[in-house]
A = this chain, B = another copy of it.
Amino acid sequence: MTDELLMIPGPTNVPAAVLEALSRPSMFHRGEQFARCLQACTAGLKQVFQTRNEVLILTASGTGGVEAAIVNCLSPGDRVVAIRSGKFGERMAEIADRYGADVTTIDIEPGKAADPDQVREVVADVQPRALLFVQNETSTGVCQDVEQIAAAGRQYGALSIVDAVSGMGGIPVKTDAWGLDVVVAGSQKAFMLPPGLAFVAASDAAWQAAEEARMPRYYFDLPAARTALDKGQTPYTPNVNMFAALQAALDLMLAEGMENVYARHAMLGRACRAGIAALGLELLADPHYASDVVTAVKSPQQLDSTRLVAAVRARHNILISGGQGELKGRIFRIGHLGSCQLDDLVVTLQAVATELNELGYCCDPQEATAAAYAAA
């Protein structure tokens, strides 16, 4: 059996060089070799995050990083505004609520992006300590206008806490230039690694907030992580093999050049949307905010998308995703991020089109391919 092609929005396919680095003998986490690796990883992440501040690396998945972002900036009772753009926006609201924040939500229709003007109105009204939102909403294939949303919050003094787990590294996030306060990313997306590491960048304002923040935390305490980083360490035993792999992955990304990486993802986004349109299918996402790392497609003719996902897997060995929550059965999603190349996408569109025909939706696979190549 050959390996499955992962065309889901994470975990993504891990390049051989990264798998090789992952499988090297474990480093001692209090030694010089690890300190050098940690330094190289942090330096690389700062380039990807476009920040002069430290980027802390936590041994946890993205959700752990998002929790760290929230609990290090806030105290119980603090007012926050959370933009529920989909499953991951909901999760931010849940975490803040769980730790005792006073959460006001802005609910976004699936496939839409938050309107910065509406955000500004709510923030003006609520005067929150922080504004929580997702850059790239994996569940709906929407990439929000991070810069404008953060600016709307900043106008009223709200810290911006951004879940960029699924987009960072594939879609530009200008952490410093856009004045973002806390930005979280995860290893298993555009970084081409397995899951298991979260990356958190924090602004000076966020570090100040951390000094006063009284939500309890220990494993996810960011000041402890920053203090340890100054000594070339982490506060608790890190997944050293994942750090070695991260260094290898960052080497690949920076060798390609971040501008080229972003251009490749933009190309994949265009190609996927063109292919989907050529099949007569509709995007879930507002085209103006369609993500370049994941494309969510409405299932045609009441077809249960879980059947399509199963058929594409069973007969083509390609994994695509269905919908989550209320979107289950109603959409399918193609991830095109990380090490993904145009050919991976084209073969996926072929498989999707072929199985759609099998399931009774008539379309021409070759048109999808031609449209994808033309748009690339």
| A residues at B contact (CB < 8 Å) | 3-4, 6, 8, 10-14, 19-20, 22-29, 31, 59-64, 67, 94-95, 98-100, 186, 188, 194-196, 215-220, 236-242, 319
- Contact present for B26 and A13 (CB under 8 Å): yes
Instruction: Give min CB distance, A184 to chain B, whole Å.
Output: 12
Residues of B within 8 A of A62 (CB): 236-237
- Contact check: which of B6, B13, B196, B216 meets A215 at CB < 8 Å? B216
- Contact check: which of B14, B23, B220, B240 meets A195 at CB < 8 Å? B240
- Contact check: which of B13, B99, B195, B220 meets A238 at CB < 8 Å? B195
Enumerate the 4 nearest inter-chain pairs by beta-carbon distance, A residue then B residue, closest first: A196-B239, A23-B23, A194-B241, A63-B236
- Contact present for B67 and A219 (CB under 8 Å): yes
Residues of B within 8 A of A13 (CB): 25-26
- Contact present for A195 and B64 (CB under 8 Å): no
- Contact present for B242 and A196 (CB under 8 Å): yes
Residues of B within 8 A of A11 (CB): 26-29, 237, 240
Query: How often does this chain occur in the complex, in copies?
Result: 2
Residues of B within 8 A of A196 (CB): 59, 196, 238-239, 241-242
* Given A13-B25, A25-B4, A215-B216, also A239-B194 (CB < 8 A): yes
* Given A11-B28, A26-B13, also A61-B6 (CB < 8 A): no
Instruction: Give min CB distance, A132 to chain B, whole Å.
Output: 13
- Please report the C-alpha to C-alpha distance between residue A267 and residue B21 in the assembled complex, in whole angstroms: 34
Residues of B within 8 A of A63 (CB): 218-219, 236-237
Instruction: Give min CB distance, A135 to chain B, whole Å.
Output: 17
- Contact present for B216 and A216 (CB under 8 Å): yes
- Please report the C-alpha to C-alpha distance between residue A121 and residue B65 in the assembled complex, in whole angstroms: 41
- Contact check: which of B4, B22, B31, B59 meets A60 at CB < 8 Å? B59
* Given A3-B25, A23-B19, A26-B11, also A60-B242 (CB < 8 A): no
- Contact present for A237 and B98 (CB under 8 Å): no
Residues of B within 8 A of A8 (CB): 28
Instruction: Give min CB distance, A233 to chain B, whole Å.
Output: 12
**Apart from A19-B25, A29-B195, A98-B217, what 6 extra A-B contacts exist at CB < 8 Å?**
A11-B240, A22-B22, A23-B23, A26-B195, A100-B216, A239-B242
Residues of B within 8 A of A22 (CB): 22-23, 241
What are 17 A-B pairs at a CB distance below 8 A? A6-B25, A6-B28, A11-B27, A14-B25, A19-B24, A20-B23, A23-B23, A59-B64, A60-B64, A61-B236, A61-B237, A63-B236, A67-B219, A94-B218, A194-B240, A216-B216, A219-B220
